[in-house]
Amino acid sequence: MCVKLDKLKELNVPFNYQATAENLFSTTQWSSIPVDIEKILARLEIPYGEKDFSNSEKALKNNNISMSIQGMVHIDKEYIKIFYNPKFKNENASKQKIRFTLAHELAHSILNGDEIDKEGGFLDLYRTDEIIDQTTDIGKMEYEANILAGEILMPTNVFITFYKLLSHDGCSIEDIKESLSRLFDVSKTVVQAKIEYLNLKND
């Protein structure tokens, strides 16, 4: 396993995404909201950039798999790089989509070190917007990467604090999602997923 990947793997606290994210923040000396995922990657010395996935998407389509690829992490021996799909740059909320994609791929690098090691230090992990089948190994990896990405961009303690403040102020659930979306610089869809994951209610 490459040295950089080994260090990322050390951040992982199995089955504790909150502690894993806290380890990441401690390592990168990050403590403010919204989380600047690009600065975190820079502090980890992990390069990132655009990649044209059109050929990959066509190849999948030729095999009767319709998939829109958002991004990927590419790891090969001593090399780690994260890519995102530039075709979303001009779409509404594209900045938020790219932010989540970068966090998702970083999450893979932290969580899936063992799987990467089994593959001889080479693994491409893709993020898509398709529904995740958690009964498969890949589906489980994608789900866990989504959870950790959400924890990185929306730390649970801060999220719950602001959710309760807004709820107690009498805000509607839509107003709460809008406010949290602006606070954490993520989409309302991502906020909704976090609310459901934490099983929060607007009392």
Paired tokens of 42: 């820079």
Name the β-bridge partners of 122. Answer: 76
pLDDT (tens, 9 = 90+) of the chain, 203 residues, equals 578 888 999 999 999 999 999 999 999 999 999 999 999 999 999 999 999 988 888 887 888 877 788 888 888 777 889 999 888 776 555 889 899 999 999 999 999 877 776 765 556 667 776 777 788 888 888 899 999 999 999 999 999 999 999 999 999 999 999 999 999 999 999 999 999 999 998 76
CB distance 97 to 187 below 8 Å: yes
Q: Which amino acid is at 14?
A: P
**DSSP 8-state secondary structure symbol assigned to residue 82:** E
CA gap 186, 99 in Å, rounded: 8
Give the pLDDT of residue 17.
Answer: 98
Predicted structure pTM score = 0.92
Q: What is the pLDDT of residue 38?
A: 97
**Who contacts 62 (Cβ-Cβ below 8 Å, separation ≥6)?**
none
Residue 153 contacts residue 190 (beta carbons within 8 Å): yes
- The closest of 76, 69, 73, 55 to 97, measured between CA atoms, is 69
What is the pLDDT, as a whole number, of residue 120? Answer: 58
20 contacts 110 by C-beta, under 8 angstroms: yes
